[in-house]
Chain A
Amino acid sequence: MTNTGIAANRLNRAQLNECFADLHAPLDAHEAAVAADRCYFCYDAPCVTACPTGIDIPLFIRQISTGMADAAARTIFDSNILGGMCARVCPVENLCEGACVREEAERDPVQIGRLQRHATDRLMAQKTHPYQRAENTGKNVAVVGGGAAGLAAAHRLALLGIDAHILESREKLGGLNEYGIAAYKVVNDFAQKEVEWLLQIGGITHQCGVMLGRDFTLESLLAEFDAVFLGVGLGDTRDLGIDGADSPNVTPATEFIADLRQASALEKVAIGRRVVVIGGGMTAIDAAVQSKLLGASEVTIAYRRGASDMPASQYEQDLALSKGVQMRFHATPQKMEKTSAGIKVHFAVKGDDDFALEADQIFTAIGQVLDPPPPDIAVENGKIKIDAQHKTSMDGVWAGGDCTGLGDDITVTAVAHGRDAAIEIHNSLTGGKHG
C-alpha cells in the first residue's frame, strides 16, 4: 500500500470482485427449508408488527417450508413490491429479526431477510410479472421521485387501474436503492433489474433528468394529472460548518457512495490511503466499509456520540469493525487544516483529551435535508407535512418517504408510504374503498 494521496487501482479487479461480493449470499433451497423450519408461526407475530410494510412473515415462511417459494414471494410482494430490495438492505436486526421470538429465546432469530430474498429472487427470475392491473379507471397521477416511495406508489396505482407517470431528477430510477446503498448489498445491478421487473405491470411511464421547480411545477402537474405524489427524498446534505471543510477532498459520503455505484469498474474509483468518515448512520458505515474494501489502509469513523447512540445498527457497526474500520466516539470535529500530507481534522472529545486525525480524504455523513420544498407546501421540522392519509397541505398532492415527517430514512418505510398513499389517492379519485 504505497500509494499516497487519493488514487484508483489500489486493488486489482479480482481482489475487488471478492471484496464487493454479495454480503449475504442467497440461501439455496435446502438452506431455506432448514431456515424456514425454525419459524414458530407465532400468533399475531411480532415480526409482522415490526415490519413497516406489515408483510405476513409467518405465512411466507410456512409457504417456503412447504415448497411453495413462489406463493411466499406473492405474499411478500402483496405488501411490499420492493420486497427483493428490502430483503437485501433492510436493517432486519432492528426490524423483523430483532422482534423474532427466537432472538429473545436464543439470540438467534429466524433468518427472515435471507428467506425473503430466497422467495423473491426465485419469482423475479421468472421474468414474468405476477400482478395484473385492475380495469383502467381513466385516472392518472404524477409521481415525483423515482425512489422507493415513488416506485411503490406507482406500482400500487397501476395495480388499482390508475396510470402513473414518474418524474425523476437523476438519470435512472431507483433512488437510494440505485445511488445510496453499499455495492456489496445490491450486487449484479439488482436495483435496475428490480425497477424493470416492477414496471412490467404496465400503466407506468417515466421521464428521467427532470426536476421539480426547474422543469415543472406542482401547478403544471395538477393541470395535467388528477393527483400528485411527492416522493422526492432528501436531496441536500448537511454541512459541517467548520473551518477548512471546503477542501475538494472533503465531500459528502452520499456522493462517494453514488459514484461508486455508478462506476463502470470498481478499480477506477479513487480512494484515499487514509480516510476519515464523520457521522454515525448507515451512510457513514457504507462509506467507511467501501473505502476499506477499495484498498484504503486506514479508515476511521468519528462520531460525536457513543456507540449505543449510533443510528447504524449493531450489526452494521460490527460489519465495519470486521472490515478493519476504526471507530472514535464522542468526537466532534472542530476544524480542518491543510497539511503537507493531507488534511488534519481536529476533534474535541467530551470528557477526554482532544485529538486530531490526518487523512487524504474526508467523507461527511451527518444527515441529509430536504431540498427547498415547493412553495405552498407546508413543511414541519424541515420535512413535508402530511396527515395520516399521506395528504400534504395542498389539495390533490400526497407525499411519502424520506421527504416527509413520517419517514425514517429506510427503504421499507418509504415503500409502505408509497403503497398507502397510492391507496388513499385511489380512494380519493374513485370514491372507492381499497384496503
Chain B
Amino acid sequence: MADLTSKFCGISSPNPFWLASAPPTDKEYNVRRAFDAGWGGVVWKTLGMEGAPIVNVNGPRYGAIWGADRRLLGLNNIELITDRPLEINLEEMARVKKDFPDRALIASVMVPCEEPCWKEIIPRIAETGVDGFELNFGCPHGMSERGMGSAVGQVPDYIEMVTAWVKNATALPVIVKLTPNITNIIHPATAAKAGGADAVSLINTITSITSVDLETMAPEPMIDGKGTAGGYCGPAVKPIALNMVAQIARTDATKGLPISGIGGVTTWRDAAEFMALGAGNVQVCTAAMTYGFAIIDELTSGLALWMDDRGYKRVDDFIGNAVPNVTDWQYLNLNYTAKARIDQDLCIGCGRCYAACEDTSHQAISMTKDRIFEVIDAECVACNLCVNVCPVEDCITMETLAPGTTDPRTGVKIPKEHGDWTSHPNNPNAK
C-alpha cells in the first residue's frame, strides 16, 4: 500500500490533504470533526487583530453556479476572516493540536500592513503549538478594501516586506497564500521567496460575480438589493489554479519553492494533477463544503490506489513529474501531426462532432443520410473539438500520424525531427 505521509516545508501530516482556511476550519468543533474523519491537516480560518471582532453580513454570503442536477461547479463568497474573538480561537487551536499531534495545524493570519501588528500576533499564535503560518494575501473581498488580503497580494513589494516581518518573528515555517487576481503569478511568488517564505499556497479565490437576479437587477449573492464582488472557488477554477501552480514550479525564479495547491480540488485525481504539476500537497475547501468531511476517504483511498497501480511508493515519487512537460507554445513540436478517428462501434449518432466541426471549425467531418460520421483527413487539423463535444468517452480519439507519412491536408511528408516556432520559416525571428 502506498505511503501517503506528507512532509510539506518541514510540516508532517499523515496525508497530503489539508482543509484550506475557510468556514470549515473556523472553530474547534469543525476541526475536530475533520481530524476524526481523517484529514491530514487544517489551515485554521484566518485570524485577525485582537479587539472588536470582525462583522459579517447577515444575509447570503455565497453565490453559486451549477451543472446538471444542480451539481455545484463554482461557489463564491463574501465572508470575511474569522468573526470570533482571537483568544477563543487560540484556546481552541491549542486544545485541538494537543489532541491531534500527528496532524498539521496551520494558522492563517491577516493583520494590517504594519510591522508591530505582525510582530505582536505571530508569537502569540505560536504558543498554541501550531506547525506553521499561512499569510492570507489572497482574499479579494471586504478585507482588501481595508488594505489587507489581496490588496497586499497584488503588490509584490508588500508581500516581500510582510513576509520578512513574519520570518523575523518566528522560526516556524511560513507559507504565503497568493491571490490569482494579478497579471503574472511569478511576481508575487518571487516576492514571497525574496521575503523568506518557506512555501507558497495558491490559488486564493478569484474576484467574481456569480449571477445576476434579473427580477431585482442585482448581482448574487445579494444583500438588501445590492451585491459585491466575491471570491470564486470550486471545480470551475481548477484550470486557472493548475496553470499558476505549474508556472511557479517551472520558472527559474521560483522553481523549488514548495507549493501547496489550492483551487477546485474535488477528487483524488484533482489532487494527483496538482501534485504532478509541482504541488507538495493540496488544500480543499469547496468540495468539503459541498459534500462534508467524509470525502477524505475517497481522496486518500483513490490516491493510494492510483499510486499502487503506478508503482509510486511515496507522494514524493510523483510530485512535480509533469513539470518538465509544461512548456511555452513556441517550443511545441509543429511537425507532430494527428487526425481525429471516430469509433463507429461506439458512435451513437448524435452528430455533435459534425455540428461543431461544420459550423465552427474546419468542415472535416462528413455525414451520411443514415448518420454515419467520418473524419475527412484532408481537412482535419486535429483540433480536438470533436473529442471535447462528443458525449461518448473514447468514441473519438486522436491518432498520431507516423513520421514519413504524408498529411493529406497539407501534402507534406511528416518529418521525424522536432520542429517548433523558434526555427519555423514563417517566424521572422527564427534562429
Which residues of the partner chain A approach B354 to less than 8 Å between Cβ atoms?
43
B351 pairs with A37, CB closer than 8 A: no
The stretch of A77-85, A98-106, A171-179 in contact with B is A98-106
CB within 8 Å of A: which of B144-190?
none
Which residues of the partner chain B approach A41 to less than 8 Å between Cβ atoms?
352
A101-B349 in contact given A40-B391, A43-B355 (Cβ < 8 Å)? yes
Which residues of the partner chain B approach A33 to less than 8 Å between Cβ atoms?
69
B68 pairs with A34, CB closer than 8 A: yes
CA–CA, A46 and B372, complex, Å:
13
CA–CA, A43 and B357, complex, Å:
11
B351 pairs with A104, CB closer than 8 A: no
CA–CA, A102 and B351, complex, Å:
12
A63, chain B: closest CB distance, angstroms = 16
Which residues of the partner chain B approach A42 to less than 8 Å between Cβ atoms?
349-352
- Per-residue 0/1 for A158-197: is the Cβ within 8 Å of any B Cβ (1 yes, 0 no)? 0000000000000000000000000000000000000000
A105 pairs with B348, CB closer than 8 A: yes
CA–CA, A115 and B416, complex, Å:
55
Which residues of the partner chain B approach A44 to less than 8 Å between Cβ atoms?
351, 367, 371
B361, chain A: closest CB distance, angstroms = 13
Which residues of the partner chain A approach B334 to less than 8 Å between Cβ atoms?
none
- Per-residue 0/1 for B366-406: is the Cβ within 8 Å of any A Cβ (1 yes, 0 no)? 01000100000000000000000001100000000000000
Which residues of the partner chain A approach B69 to less than 8 Å between Cβ atoms?
33-34, 37
B352 pairs with A43, CB closer than 8 A: yes
Please name the residue on chain B nearest to A34 by beta carbon: B69
A37 pairs with B352, CB closer than 8 A: no
A37-B68 in contact given A43-B354, A43-B355, A46-B371 (Cβ < 8 Å)? yes
CA–CA, A42 and B352, complex, Å:
6
Please name the residue on chain B nearest to A43 by beta carbon: B351
A104 pairs with B68, CB closer than 8 A: no
CB within 8 Å of A: which of B6-33?
none
CA–CA, A432 and B68, complex, Å:
46
CA–CA, A308 and B140, complex, Å:
66
Which residues of the partner chain A approach B352 to less than 8 Å between Cβ atoms?
40-43
- Per-residue 0/1 for A230-245: is the Cβ within 8 Å of any B Cβ (1 yes, 0 no)? 0000000000000000
CB within 8 Å of A: which of B314-356?
348-352, 354-355
Which residues of the partner chain A approach B348 to less than 8 Å between Cβ atoms?
101-102, 104-105
The 6 A-B residue pairs whose C-beta atoms are closest, nearest first, are A43-B351, A37-B68, A43-B355, A105-B348, A101-B348, A42-B350
* Chain A residues within 8 Å of B, Cβ to Cβ: 30, 33-34, 37-38, 40-46, 101-102, 104-105
What are 20 residue pairs bridging A and B, where the CB atoms are less than 8 Å apart in the complex? Answer: A30-B70, A33-B69, A34-B68, A37-B69, A38-B68, A40-B352, A40-B391, A41-B352, A42-B349, A42-B350, A42-B352, A43-B350, A43-B354, A43-B355, A44-B367, A44-B371, A101-B348, A101-B349, A102-B348, A104-B348
* Besides the known contacts A37-B68, A105-B392, 20 further A-B residue pairs in the complex with CB atoms under 8 A apart: A30-B70, A33-B69, A34-B68, A34-B69, A37-B69, A38-B68, A40-B350, A41-B352, A42-B349, A42-B351, A42-B352, A43-B350, A43-B354, A43-B355, A43-B367, A44-B351, A44-B371, A101-B350, A102-B348, A104-B349
